[in-house]
Chain A
Amino acid sequence: MPNIVIDDREIEVPAGTKVIDAARQLDIMIPRFCYHVALGSVGACRVCAVKFVEGPFKGVQMSCMIDAKDGMVVSTTDEEAVEFRKYVIECLMLHHPHDCPVCDEGGHCLLQDMTISGGHGIRRYLGSKRTYRDQYLGPLVQHEMNRCIHCYRCSRFYQEFAGYRDLGVMQSANRVFFGRYEDGILESPFTGNLSDICPTGVYTDKPSRFIGRRWDYERSPSLCINCSLGCHTVASARYRQLVRQEARYSEEVNGYFICDRGRYGFFYASHEKRPRRALVEGEEVAYHQAIDTVREKLAQISGSAGPEAIACLSSERSSLETQAMLKRVCQNKNWSGPLFFMEQSLAEKVKTATARLEPGLTVSLRELEQADFILAVGADPINEAPMLALAMRQAQRFGGRVVVIDPRPIFLPFDFQHLPVRLHEVDLYLSLMIKAAVDRETATELGPSAAEFYQTIPTLETAAVPLQEQIATLAQELRGCQRPVIVCGTEVVPQTTPALAADQVLLLKAMDKQTGLFYLMPGANTFGASLLSGDDGSFSTTLESIEKGKIKALIVTERDLFWKYQNKQRLERIIEKLDLLVVLDYVDSETAQKSDVFFPVSSLYEAGGVFINQEGRVQVAPKVYLGGTPIKQNSGGGHPPRVYGVGIPGSEPRPAWQVVVEIGNGELPPDEETAFATTRKWLAEGNPVFANLPPIDQFPDDGVRLGPALDVGSRFSLDWQTERHPKRNSDGLELILVDWTFGTEELSIYSPHLRQVEKEPCLSMHTSDAVRLGLSSGDKVAIRFDGGRVEASLCVAENMASGVIVMPRHRLLEWQKIKELPRIVRFEEIEKVSV
């Protein structure tokens, strides 16, 4: 490890560390524009110049380009270097507008900081500034090219890091232009990062334009809850309105970036229609009145029909506190539930996943970037967890191979191998590939059950499947790799896949590989939900009990029953039968509208909360602001109305867990710390994995990874081959309901900006099926479901399995007309709609 002296201080750094990073470790911040830890060095801006006094290089050199070497002595304060940096800035300012007061970046601009700190003030050169025409880049990012200092960060991020091609560098010399070939909405779902990384105001956050300066904002670290990865964000609020989210660096999870769904998905929090008053039978009432009403009614029902006539339904987007509190109250009161999932099969798959995520196998998102072979089964990263796609891209960029086994038309922003097989074949293909990569002896060493498991997998030759050769070559590569990771989805896959993936990872690990297992889950706190959910019944039995009149009251926290559940008609009918539907939420969902009693609750930004991401990482989001109706909404931007009263207007919502406590007649703890402390204690009593959670104010930045106990017994115990999905059927297509990056996620759909980048929902089918049906891309088709017709345009794709039809659970599609799942769509149920 080289030893280097910077400004008279010595430091030892790993070989290959750039001098600029070595300085960073000494807390010396060498100026930089083009250098970015995630994007690496290019040596374009020349502002990181320092003086090399001793060692292999001499004189003024770029600290971002030179590896620290033994014997180097570097001065960052040397007069020549300081002078040089000043001239670099002078040069950049020659073409930069002098209008910081009206620039959207002003106040958090690296160029502004450097200009001031570098000491440049007076322009020595004459001549006009170079100017450009700005482009329309869509609703998320504002372009102002005159401010560009040509650090190439944007193009490097957009093309090299993220793998999209529609924004980049054009022209040369003094005319170098960063943008698109022509105006248009940026194609990548990672565009907001441009605003974060651009050191000046070329790309700025469009939705928050003209709202405030950074110093005006209440800013706080936060988390993204728009998917299960739990990326880190910084949220900003002003005038009681959440206005902006940026990526927050996380060593373990998202690195420097986040996706646009996460960044712009927060608009529900300050949505105009957000319910802020408690409602009883649709009438606004005071919070305590609503509590009293609920308590009274619940007591009645409990008295007449027993406590089990009251059922509770929690949610995957609730914080751990809310989930736990609901469970505690249920247990205390002997109410039914709580249930955490509406779909039983999903619940089971997720539970398997949480149980099988052994400590030695789990990898974080950042660790996944190091993989040299990624095998994704039943996962569609860009649509289900966009940042996963970005992490996989990094693995691929550095030489890793990515293979996806999935029936859907998968797109990833890099080269990968897609095995588009039917859902019921996913297990087989996964197993074939692993078997071909793992020796029998290795499997035998793992014990008799592993040996038997290995034995039952057919060999490539006997299986005689299509794509055989491709699998054989890939297996060969897998055999040679060092750090393979299996990414496994939990939504569309067969019941058996999560456990199978874990078994296969164990086999690979036995081949002396550093293996990883990475599950995807449907919600921000699905992991928590899974840890808390018991074995008591499923949502469908609950529905039956309601139909039979056994359950009379339903308490739903932070969930829209209709959002992700098929057969809407039946659900509506059943809910009608309830004596009491209590809903707690911060969005005005359909369920909320049907409630008898409604409690507005705080959003993540007002309540904070603990969330467990899909790898079992417990993370804390602090409060960002106090809440209340945005001033813009209650006064149209003018002076707030002169109403006299205590508290902030619109601040009635309180954390869901508090409402739960009060509904259950409990005592509210004196403060939140105590609340979390008791919750933590209670959780640990129920499940030892929670035993090591630190107090809420001592959580490390990257949270704490839970280590579920080894469930050795469940290893290799699966008989996946008998649990077959319906066989390929010749008279219809298997329906697969899927998520899309934009338009299917419950919270982000409230963002008016993301609505503009949503794609129009379409159905996808394989070319061969389309040919058979006489359909082609762009046709408008209708599917006759039992509950009615669903119309959408058709996308015909070559890169997907035949025999399936893929439909997004898009907000603009009434897919809930489907009655039963799984569902085969018969050919005669598909028809072309003439327009």
Chain B
Amino acid sequence: MNKDDLTERFASILRRADRRARERRNEAIPTIYIVMSTCGLASGAAETKQAFEEALSDKDIGARIVPVGCLGHCYAEPLVVIDHPATGFPPICYHQVTVARARRLVRSYLEKGDPVFEYVLGALEENDLIPAVTDFARFNLEQRLVMEHCGRIDPDDIYQYIAAGGYSGLVKALCLEPEELIDEIETSGLRGRGGAGFPAGRKWRLASTAKADGKIIICNGDEGDPGAYMDRTILESNPHQLLEGLAICAYAVGADQAIVYVRAEYPLAVKTIKGAIKSAEGVALLGSTILGTTFSLNVSVFQGSGAFVCGEETALIQSIEGKRGMPQHRPPYPVEKGLWGRPTVVNNVKTLSSVPPIIKNGTEWFRGSGTETSPGTAIFSVVGNVKHPGLVEIAMGTSLRTLIFDVCGGIPNKKSFKAVQIGGPSGGCLPESFLDTPIDFDSLTQAGAMMGSGGMVVMDEDSCMVDVARYFIDFTQKESCGKCTFCRIGTRHLLNILDRITNGEGSEQDLELLGTLSEDIKLGSLCGLGETAPNPVLTSLRYFLDEYEAHIKENRCPAHKCRALTAFYIDLEKCARGCEVCVGCCPVEAIFTTRGRKKAIDQKLCVKCGECAVVCPPEYDAVLKVSPPELAPTLERTPDGK
């Protein structure tokens, strides 16, 4: 491979990228960056963009609108960054930019230079005028190794990525021998971000030593965990970094074909990655004879149909082959015999996206973050009862407490923390006593949870742990491919039992059955889905046994969550005479007027929808919830029904 030729070719691409960046900067008109990834769009970014366009043309203001990917601050969408150099302000990040706010921003900031402080989330650079985002924990505790450019560049413009240093990792890699490259990844200690944490370097080496033609790289972007969207974000926000990683991996193991597996429910991700492949091929960074070398890589996109189990690598391969997405026994592992029987490397989106910065900045740099056995960063989508849900990238080894309370702002509404479910449906629920657990592959597994692919659900005191376990088991039992006996039938019966317990029909024998059946499911399942499906049950049994017992023995749901075990009643002391709001909202007319024109609930009719508690004006706050339901005082309804 002619290194000079190669670097020269890339240098010319880079010059083009820099020229474009310079031109843009020189135009000296404001730039409006609008977050247009799925989270933004869902919060109305498309309307926001339209509002900007209309307002700009109304006012005849020259400004450039650049759609960008996700910054991770999903709680604040639609997010907009306005760079208005003429005003002397640094680029400013605005939160919840609705249509009205967009118009106002055009009017005030773009036209008159008033940055509208009440919408500001923070400035993107340190300055004396506006607090910078880096002053917030949400920003400064994060370490953006992988998502560095997400939300900062236009994902559809390859030159922006290149200008930001993109694809130089690939160039560097192509100048190395594949062996050296694998050594590099191995010493970096990069572990698979798809769940199991298998060392990426080792996987690559196995594939590179497999003697066969037509090796294949598959990027696993199936991401089926409920609540997880890290991979989607990367695909939508910085697809080129992934493609660069894919190309480096292919070069290292000697593959000439790569497939990006994305679920069809991610239409934007599909569109973005397809466009990115095309533009990379357009400048010979993918496709045949990359940068004039002998290395070629044909990248295609495969859209999965959205079964959770198709994220499992062997099921994923089956589904690409046009078969039912059902996991297969390993060995043989995909690196020996994968897609179409050829050696196949399956790596997660995040794993592959970690590769270019590692190659570019070196293993020392990578190992500078994280822990000895889990170097680098972890990307979580934190959802549930936290103030600032969203995507966060933090160094491995950060404690759960820091992540939940500092980065994500803690529990809202003055509630207290109860548990955190890590690793998606197959992870475990950890109680408060585990908050100081460092986040890395091994510590989490030890605690009974797992890294999984990075879904994290934080739960406050109002969550019933039995109900949470039930929720996750309901998910896995529906998503079981239906192959293994225990996974297919056993999970169903776990659900039956949990259903009974949350309905107040549990028995003490059920607790024992939950335990033994869970163990059988773990032992008797072929793939990770079944092997881990009982985790939420097992961990909640371990850490929240008292809640199970309360349900079974006392007919009580401590979190007042399980309908069958709770009741609503109206505190006559607090109820305002003559207020009728709750009466009107009750769908089953269970609320009647009792003495002194105060209201009471007919327990026989109540369906426990909780509407009355919502509508009861906060100054009275008279609707109360109790468990067990017998605690609710009963008031006889008079025969006339009033």
Contacts known (A41-B329, A169-B324, A173-B477); A94 close to B482, Cβ less than 8 A: no
Which chain B residues border A152 with CB–CB below 8 Å? 483
A126 at the interface (CB under 8 A from B): yes
A304 at the interface (CB under 8 A from B): no
The B455-505 residues at the A interface (CB cut-off 8 A) are 477-486, 488-490, 492-493, 496-497, 500
Which chain A residues border B481 with CB–CB below 8 Å? 172-173
The B504-546 residues at the A interface (CB cut-off 8 A) are 509, 513, 520, 523-526
The A22-42 residues at the B interface (CB cut-off 8 A) are 41-42
B270 at the interface (CB under 8 A from A): no
Is the Cβ of B482 less than 8 Å from the Cβ of A84?
no
Interface string of B164-191 (1 = CB under 8 A from A): 0000000000000000000000000000
Interface string of A151-187 (1 = CB under 8 A from B): 0100000000000000001011111100000000000
Cβ-defined partner of A94 (8 Å) among B493, B497, B525: B493
Cβ-defined partner of B483 (8 Å) among A44, A65, A91, A95: A44
Is the Cβ of B500 less than 8 Å from the Cβ of A92?
no
Is the Cβ of A43 less than 8 Å from the Cβ of B329?
yes
Is the Cβ of A176 less than 8 Å from the Cβ of B488?
yes
A62 to B486, CA, bound (A): 13
A46 at the interface (CB under 8 A from B): yes
A87 at the interface (CB under 8 A from B): yes
A45 to B513, CA, bound (A): 21
Contacts known (A41-B329, A84-B524, A172-B307); A95 close to B489, Cβ less than 8 A: yes
Cβ-defined partner of A174 (8 Å) among B329, B492, B525: B492
Cβ-defined partner of A87 (8 Å) among B307, B488, B520: B520
A573 at the interface (CB under 8 A from B): no
Which chain B residues border A44 with CB–CB below 8 Å? 483-485, 526
Number of interface residues of A (CB under 8 A): 33
The interface residues of chain B, by DSSP majority, are classed as helix
Cβ-defined partner of A127 (8 Å) among B307, B483, B496: B496
Which chain A residues border B329 with CB–CB below 8 Å? 41-43, 62, 65
Q: Which residue of B lies closest to A169 (CB)?
A: B324
A210 at the interface (CB under 8 A from B): no
Is the Cβ of B484 less than 8 Å from the Cβ of A46?
yes
A595 to B107, CA, bound (A): 110
Is the Cβ of B485 less than 8 Å from the Cβ of A150?
yes
Is the Cβ of A92 less than 8 Å from the Cβ of B489?
yes
Which chain B residues border A169 with CB–CB below 8 Å? 324, 482
A30 to B511, CA, bound (A): 32
A88 to B521, CA, bound (A): 10
Which chain B residues border A150 with CB–CB below 8 Å? 482-483, 485, 488
Is the Cβ of A173 less than 8 Å from the Cβ of B478?
yes
Which chain A residues border B509 with CB–CB below 8 Å? 124
A49 at the interface (CB under 8 A from B): yes
Which chain B residues border A65 with CB–CB below 8 Å? 329
Is the Cβ of B485 less than 8 Å from the Cβ of A88?
yes
Contacts known (A127-B496, A173-B477); A94 close to B489, Cβ less than 8 A: yes
Q: Which residue of A lies closest to B527 (CB)?
A: A43
Is the Cβ of B486 less than 8 Å from the Cβ of A88?
yes
A173 to B492, CA, bound (A): 9
A84 to B485, CA, bound (A): 12
Cβ-defined partner of A84 (8 Å) among B328, B488, B492, B520: B520
A65 to B481, CA, bound (A): 18
Q: Give the one of B328, B484, B497, B520 with max A CB within 10 A.
A: B484
Cβ-defined partner of B482 (8 Å) among A43, A92, A171: A171
A612 to B500, CA, bound (A): 66
Interface string of A33-69 (1 = CB under 8 A from B): 0000000011111110100000000001010010000
Which chain B residues border A125 with CB–CB below 8 Å? 493, 496-497, 513
Interface string of A527-556 (1 = CB under 8 A from B): 000000000000000000000000000000
Which chain B residues border A47 with CB–CB below 8 Å? 485
Q: How far is the CB of B512 from chain A (nearest CB, A)?
A: 9
A175 to B479, CA, bound (A): 11
Is the Cβ of B488 less than 8 Å from the Cβ of A43?
no
Cβ-defined partner of B489 (8 Å) among A49, A126, A174: A174
A698 to B479, CA, bound (A): 56
Q: How far is the CB of B474 from chain A (nearest CB, A)?
A: 11
Can you identify 16 A-B contacts, CB atoms within 8 angstroms?
A: A42-B328, A44-B483, A46-B526, A62-B329, A84-B520, A87-B520, A91-B486, A125-B493, A126-B500, A127-B493, A150-B485, A172-B482, A173-B480, A173-B481, A173-B488, A174-B492
Contacts A87-B524, A169-B482, A174-B482 aside, 19 further interface pairs with beta carbons under 8 A come to A44-B485, A45-B484, A46-B484, A46-B485, A47-B485, A88-B486, A91-B490, A95-B489, A124-B509, A125-B497, A126-B500, A150-B482, A172-B309, A173-B481, A173-B482, A174-B480, A175-B482, A176-B482, A176-B488
Q: Which 4 interchain pairs have the tightest Cβ spacing?
A: A176-B482, A127-B496, A173-B480, A65-B329
- List residues of chain B with CB under 8 Å of any chain A CB: 307, 309, 324, 328-329, 477-486, 488-490, 492-493, 496-497, 500, 509, 513, 520, 523-526
